[in-house]
């Protein structure tokens, strides 16, 4: 899996003080900047959220592709900028517009759209077109033009004002083209006119293979459902947690994911989560209530907790801090039937921005969150203590010794990665290894930052290695 191959890519780059200018993130409920590590998360109340979406639509020069589950231009919870009118204006100035929506709900906002604009709906059946994304100017000759909007928002006043959501704008042509290829599968063509006979939704779609991107020095992963095995990548992200893990979810019915989170909690990772009350009847809710205790909160207020987010190791820059978000609820339907999109962004800065939002939400529900020690993961420390792991010297001029002790027969793997996620050496891969002390030597010729990954009996230990000039 790409997550396993690139687990530690660009972590060094993500240590910069800001997230760059090509990834913009917004939340529609207040954030708590007291836990900021340098870049404050941005709170956009409902009306401002829609204004921001419209502002990006207004800047489109050539093309706008929209895949949006629900659009109702209502004012039940407050008026918001008319998105269809902004799209009509873009079309009137010569921008090519294509729009896919779901047929299972009214989507009454579409009635405002210029009838000359081509649209397509997913036929009814076992799944829904649940995507939330906009692609702007994907094929512009200027690589600075293409932008992708995504996140958890549907377009209703309820979603803008009352429900908890996050959204992202990513300025990157390669990413925009990957989204466009997915859009074209559902559209049935690459032209302005859809081909309903060739359109593919749900399980009929293919994995198009474009998953790894580098945006502003951050590794970004992209997966679509159900073709790309998205839940496998969600589980990879959960498994990567060494120090702390936070989740917020509307629909959480995938028991295997819940078990993995509970297991992380039991091995010493600091875990906290929020589920919407919609998840109440399902097994994950019971598991979290039983095992996480005060570390788990349920939202049952006005609206719903609609975000779909996972935050891994925001407190541990020695690990691989990341955020996972998008349209994908953690359910079998999302993974097997629905059209969904998921982003995983590896960045300690962006992870902290999402943590500022989660922190405010969790506190507002009457919870408390403890400060988690930084560099040096809880699970890794426990693993070190149990197995007497030593990795030295560090920094080094290129020669590295790895020494550890096994109290029982256990599976062991030791791999060294560069900052681009390429595995450059494998010191051990033994299934199983006998009890006793073991020692291995590694040698690196080029100075730089490397990551040593050890797995002993299913537990992971990650160590950043600094190689100086010999």
Phi, psi of 267 (to 5 degrees): -90, 5
For 83-138, the DSSP string reads: HHHHHHHHHHTT-EEEEEEESSS--GGGGGS-TTSEEEEEPSSS--B--EEEEEST
Using pLDDT thresholds of 50, 70 and 90, give the confidence band for residue 12. Answer: very low
Q: Which CATH superfamily is domain 1-376 in?
A: Endonuclease Chain A (3.30.870.10)
Q: Point out the least confidently predicted range of 9-23, 65-79, 447-461.
A: 9-23
List alpha helices for 133-209, DSSP H: 157, 173-187
- Residue 206: what pLDDT? 97
If we measure between CA atoms, which residue out of 144, 131, 219 comes closest to residue 176? 144
- Residue 72: what pLDDT? 97
Residue 147 has pLDDT above 90, yes or no: yes
Q: Point out the least confidently predicted range of 82-86, 162-166, 318-322, 334-338.
A: 318-322
- Residue 469: what pLDDT? 65
Query: Where do the domains of the chain lie?
Result: 1-376, 378-467
Phi, psi of 252 (to 5 degrees): -125, 95
Give the Cα separation of 96 and 93 in Å (integer). Answer: 9
Q: What number is the average pLDDT over the span 364-389?
A: 70
Same fold, 1-376 and 378-467: no
Query: Using an 8 Å Cβ cutoff, are 326 and 151 in contact?
Result: yes
Query: Using an 8 Å Cβ cutoff, are 114 and 64 in contact?
Result: no
> What is the architecture of the domain spanning 378-467?
Sandwich (2.60)
If we measure between CA atoms, which residue out of 326, 347, 342 comes closest to residue 22? 347
Q: What number is the average pLDDT over the span 360-385?
A: 73
pLDDT single digits (tens) 345-360: 999 999 999 999 999 9
Using pLDDT thresholds of 50, 70 and 90, give the confidence band for residue 10. Answer: very low
Q: Which of 381-390, 428-437, 450-459 has the highest mean pLDDT?
A: 428-437
Give the Cα separation of 305 and 296 in Å (integer). Answer: 14
Beta carbons within 8 Å of 34's beta carbon, 6+ residues apart: none
How far, CA to CA in Å, does 58 sit from each of 44, 119, 136, 277? 19, 19, 10, 37
pLDDT single digits (tens) 183-204: 999 999 999 999 999 999 999 9
Q: Point out the least confidently predicted range of 89-98, 136-145, 206-215, 371-380.
A: 371-380
């Amino acid at each position: 899996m790409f997550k396993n191959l690139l687990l530690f890519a660009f972590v060094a780059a993500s240590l910069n003080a800001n997230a760059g200018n090509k990834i913009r993130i917004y939340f529609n409920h207040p954030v708590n900047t007291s836990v900021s590590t340098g870049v404050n998360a941005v709170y956009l109340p409902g009306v401002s959220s829609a204004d921001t979406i419209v502002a990006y639509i207004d800047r489109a020069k050539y093309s706008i592709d929209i895949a949006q589950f629900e659009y109702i231009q209502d004012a039940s919870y407050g008026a918001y900028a008319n998105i269809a009118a902004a799209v009509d204006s873009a079309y009137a100035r010569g921008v090519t517009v294509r729009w896919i929506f779901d047929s299972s709900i009214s989507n009454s906002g579409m009635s405002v759209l210029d009838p000359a604009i081509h649209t397509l709906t997913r036929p009814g059946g076992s799944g829904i077109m649940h995507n939330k994304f906009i692609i702007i100017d994907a094929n512009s000759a200027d690589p600075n033009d293409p932008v992708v909007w995504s996140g958890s928002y549907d377009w209703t006043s309820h979603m803008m004002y009352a429900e908890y959501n996050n959204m992202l704008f990513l300025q990157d042509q390669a990413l925009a083209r990957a989204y466009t290829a997915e859009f074209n599968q559902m559209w049935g063509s690459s032209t302005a006119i859809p081909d309903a006979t060739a359109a593919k939704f749900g399980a009929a779609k293919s994995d198009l293979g474009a998953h790894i991107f580098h945006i502003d020095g951050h590794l970004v992963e992209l997966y679509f459902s159900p073709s790309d095995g998205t839940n496998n990548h969600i589980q990879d992200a959960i498994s990567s947690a060494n120090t702390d893990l936070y989740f917020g979810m509307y629909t959480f019915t995938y028991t295997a994911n819940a078990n993995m989170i509970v297991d992380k909690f039991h091995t010493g990772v600091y875990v906290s989560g929020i589920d919407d009350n919609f998840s109440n009847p399902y097994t994950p809710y019971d598991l979290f209530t039983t095992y996480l205790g005060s570390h788990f909160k349920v939202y049952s207020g006005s609206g719903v907790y609609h975000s779909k987010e996972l935050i891994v190791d925001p407190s541990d820059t020695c690990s691989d801090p990341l955020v996972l978000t998008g349209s994908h609820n953690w359910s079998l339907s999302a993974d097997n039937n629905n059209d969904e999109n998921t982003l995983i962004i590896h960045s300690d800065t962006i992870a902290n921005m999402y943590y500022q939002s989660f922190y405010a939400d969790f506190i507002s529900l009457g919870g408390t969150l403890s400060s988690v020690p930084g560099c040096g993961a809880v699970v890794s420390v426990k693993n070190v203590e149990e197995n007497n792991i030593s990795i030295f010297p560090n920094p080094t001029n290129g020669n590295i010794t790895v020494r550890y002790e096994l109290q029982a027969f256990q599976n062991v793997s030791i791999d060294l990665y560069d900052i681009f996620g390429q595995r450059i050496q494998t010191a051990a891969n033994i299934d199983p290894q006998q009890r006793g002390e073991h020692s291995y030597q590694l040698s690196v010729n080029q100075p730089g930052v490397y990551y040593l990954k050890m797995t002993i009996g299913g537990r992971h230990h990650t160590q950043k290695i600094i190689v100086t000039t010999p």
